[in-house]
Chain A
Amino acid sequence: MTTVKAATNASPLAASWRGQKIPIAGMLAVLIAAPFFVYPVVLMKALCFALFACAFNLLIGYVGLLSFGHALFLGSAGYAAAHAAKVWGWNPEFAILFGTAFSAAIGAVVGAIAIRRQGIYFAMVTLALAQMAYFFYLRASFTGGEDGIQAVPRGRMFGLLDLRDTMTMYFVVLAIFTVGFLLIYRTIHSPFGQVLKGIRENEPRAISLGYKPDHYKMVVFVISAALSGLAGGTKAIVFQLASLTDVDWRTSGEVILMTLLGGMGTIFGPAVGAAVIVTLETFPWLGAWVTVAEGLIFVVCVLTFRRGIVGELSRWLKRPL
């Protein structure tokens, strides 16, 4: 993991919090102002994917596990939340939480199977399990097959906030993103997070020190799945749709691309990468070339730009971001 290692800068807990308060506050200020200048629906999509990518980064950036099936958690939570909101008539907050819990449960099952293998095999196993779930959702009756679950009601958050209003919806999504982001930040900078990095750097040594890597991997896998679920559930409520696209392997590839482009193992990288890719997808003239463009970005990033945007920036500023 030499280069991934180089991309991250481990720093003492307290110093890093002091150092990153300002960038985090800056990011939030930009996001609060953003909907008054940019189309909020695009921003909400970017925020959902940003949270998804940050959750994904928890695995690749901090334990060195490449999950190639993370769309499974995004999409499953989407189906669960959409079903709860539409068929059971739940309030959006409960629907989203249900989606989150659903993905966490799936994460526990997938994690238990996948962490038996490492490196390249871990990637292939997660990809295969996600594809298995894809075929299940394609056939299952509650998912609506190719059509997906459409016209999901946005409802009223806590019975008070009418989410049909785009601005209200935006600030709810922003709040969810912020909670998820801070949770990930806290996880990384906790003693638990330090052990994860230790496992990434040298697993046999972590074992010899008495840590059980499999337990740690399992817990962080479930956290990552749950937060991806939080993103997926929110996305289903925002777009009032849960569909097969969100469990497709291309989406799993997309979240890898976002994280790689932004910078694996950086705090802000995945969010920046998600913003860039979502923006790219909104260019109308790109049309059917999106896949080719994404492939090119992959190739260029891997060959010349392995630290990613934020990774390079952080090296240039000589401080962790």
Chain B
Amino acid sequence: MTTVFGIPVQAFLGQLLIGLINGSFYALLSLGLAIIFGLLNIVNFAHGAFYTTGAFVAWFLLQYAGISYWGALIISPLVVGALGMAIERTMLKRLYGLDPLYGLLLTFGLALIIQGLFLKQFGSSGEPYEIPDMFKGGVSLGFMFLPNYRAWVIGFSLILCLTTWYTIEKTRLGSYLRAATENPTLVQAFGINVPLLITLTYGMGVALAALAGVMAAPIYRVSPLMGSDMIIVVFAVVVIGGMGSIMGSIVTGFSLGIIEGLTKVFYPEASNVVIFVIMALVLLVKSAGLFGRAQ
């Protein structure tokens, strides 16, 4: 049997794959956080809760309406995005101009409410969500077995990340968004509806989190705690990458997922903490983050 650094190649590639999957979710979530932070100046603590909600909406749709994975992939982000926009209109809107810490505290409160409601209803063990029929099974690549669904998650996340990047960096809408991030007053003076842009941005970021939740549902169980476990790691990812750059969030998200996966191979005890250790090291060396601008 072939080995890499004394580790069987199968195990090595298996963990690499898991790392890529986690990396996909880190990238999708930190991307949303970065976009929201850029325009709203709010660190959205509820991001993990929206990810959970996305997964639960998919589960509800399947359980009570018989709507399959594909339907959920469209409906769930729409529903959660609408919820996010309603929250932005009614609550977050009142906090603009205040210290950004209040935004963090408010969204933390929202996260507690959402998580608490799901916990009350479902307990902490969660519900299983079956892999859609189309993606059952997998392909043997000769050196490893690649489950179809996991290949789909990685591929689709990459496409989503790159589409988001393209929209923000290369399109007209994206240029409004970047301009509004720099100077909202001036952009408003040019006749662009900035409050609407803000609402849509928050909805978009939240919808991305919900989409990640739907994709995660068949891999992990649909559980009330899935989001809170994720969000703290994503915060560390965001600190490492710096929230200034869209591409930075994507690259950091995927690479940290891979590093975490590889740590599981070489030193499993440290796999839970490796991202936090990297965060501490990055802060000591380059405190603005790898892609961040000094403040």
**Contact indicator B279/A128 (Cβ below 8 Å):** yes
**Contact indicator B120/A288 (Cβ below 8 Å):** yes
**Contact indicator B269/A292 (Cβ below 8 Å):** no
**Contact indicator B99/A2 (Cβ below 8 Å):** yes
Q: Could you list which residues of chain A lie within 8 angstroms of chain B, going by C-beta atoms?
A: 1-4, 64, 66, 68, 113-114, 116-121, 123-125, 127-129, 131-132, 135-136, 139, 249, 253, 256, 260, 288-299, 301-303, 306
**Contact indicator A260/B283 (Cβ below 8 Å):** no
Expressed in whole angstroms, the Cα–Cα distance for A288 and B91 within the complex equals 25
Contacts of A253 in B (CB 8 A): 108, 112
**Chain B at the A interface: mostly helix, strand, loop or mixed?**
helix
Contacts of B100 in A (CB 8 A): 119-120
* Residues A128 and B112 in contact in the complex (CB < 8 Å), given A123-B43, A299-B106: no
Q: Indicate which residue in A4, A113, A124 contacts B235 across the interface (CB closer than 8 Å).
A: A124
9 CB contacts below 8 A, A to B, read A117-B283, A124-B239, A125-B239, A132-B277, A288-B116, A292-B113, A292-B120, A295-B115, A302-B102
* Residues A292 and B116 in contact in the complex (CB < 8 Å), given A120-B100, A298-B106: yes
Contacts of B98 in A (CB 8 A): 2-3
Contacts of B269 in A (CB 8 A): 139
**Contact indicator A295/B110 (Cβ below 8 Å):** yes
**Contact indicator A136/B273 (Cβ below 8 Å):** yes
State the total of A-B contacts with C-beta under 8 angstroms. 127
**Contact indicator B276/A291 (Cβ below 8 Å):** no
**Contact indicator A123/B113 (Cβ below 8 Å):** no
Q: Indicate which residue in B116, B119, B228, B276 contacts A132 across the interface (CB closer than 8 Å).
A: B276
**Contact indicator A298/B105 (Cβ below 8 Å):** yes
Expressed in whole angstroms, the Cα–Cα distance for A119 and B41 within the complex equals 11
**Contact indicator A66/B104 (Cβ below 8 Å):** yes
Contacts of A131 in B (CB 8 A): 232-233, 236, 276
**Chain A at the B interface: mostly helix, strand, loop or mixed?**
helix
* Residues A295 and B105 in contact in the complex (CB < 8 Å), given A124-B235, A128-B239: no
8 more contacts with CB within 8 A, not counting A128-B235, A299-B113, are A114-B283, A131-B236, A135-B272, A294-B112, A295-B111, A299-B110, A301-B109, A302-B95
Chain A residue nearest to B287 (CB atoms) is A116
Q: Indicate which residue in A121, A298, A306 contacts B109 across the interface (CB closer than 8 Å).
A: A298
- 1/0 contact string of B86-124 vs chain A (CB within 8 Å): 000001001100111110111011111111110110000
The verdict on B238 contacting chain A, using a C-beta distance below 8 Å, is: yes
Contacts of A249 in B (CB 8 A): 228, 232
Chain A residue nearest to B123 (CB atoms) is A288
Contacts of A256 in B (CB 8 A): 105, 108
Q: Indicate which residue in B109, B114, B287 contacts A297 across the interface (CB closer than 8 Å).
A: B109
Expressed in whole angstroms, the Cα–Cα distance for A127 and B272 within the complex equals 15
Q: Could you list which residues of chain B lie within 8 angstroms of chain A, going by C-beta atoms?
A: 37, 43, 91, 94-95, 98-102, 104-106, 108-117, 119-120, 228, 232-233, 235-236, 238-239, 269, 272-273, 276-277, 279-280, 283-284, 287, 295
Contacts of A302 in B (CB 8 A): 95, 102, 105-106, 109
Expressed in whole angstroms, the Cα–Cα distance for A253 and B239 within the complex equals 20
Report B284 CB to chain A, min CB distance, Å: 7
Q: Indicate which residue in B91, B104, B239, B287 contacts A299 across the interface (CB closer than 8 Å).
A: B91
**Contact indicator A295/B272 (Cβ below 8 Å):** no
Contacts of A114 in B (CB 8 A): 283
Contacts of B276 in A (CB 8 A): 128-129, 131-132
**Contact indicator A296/B105 (Cβ below 8 Å):** no
Q: Indicate which residue in A116, A123, A288 contacts B119 across the interface (CB closer than 8 Å).
A: A288
Contacts of B43 in A (CB 8 A): 120, 123-124
**Contact indicator A303/B106 (Cβ below 8 Å):** yes
Chain A residue nearest to B277 (CB atoms) is A132
* Residues A127 and B102 in contact in the complex (CB < 8 Å), given A253-B112, A295-B110, A295-B111: no
Contacts of B112 in A (CB 8 A): 253, 291-292, 294-295, 298
* Residues A123 and B101 in contact in the complex (CB < 8 Å), given A253-B108, A292-B112: yes
Contacts of A3 in B (CB 8 A): 98-99, 102
Expressed in whole angstroms, the Cα–Cα distance for A289 and B272 within the complex equals 30
Q: Indicate which residue in B94, B110, B113, B283 contacts A116 across the interface (CB closer than 8 Å).
A: B283
Report A139 CB to chain B, min CB distance, Å: 6
Expressed in whole angstroms, the Cα–Cα distance for A136 and B277 within the complex equals 12
Report B96 CB to chain A, min CB distance, Å: 12
**Contact indicator A306/B283 (Cβ below 8 Å):** no
**Nearest 10 A-B pairs (CB), nearest first?**
A298-B109, A295-B112, A291-B116, A295-B113, A132-B276, A292-B116, A128-B236, A116-B287, A135-B272, A299-B109
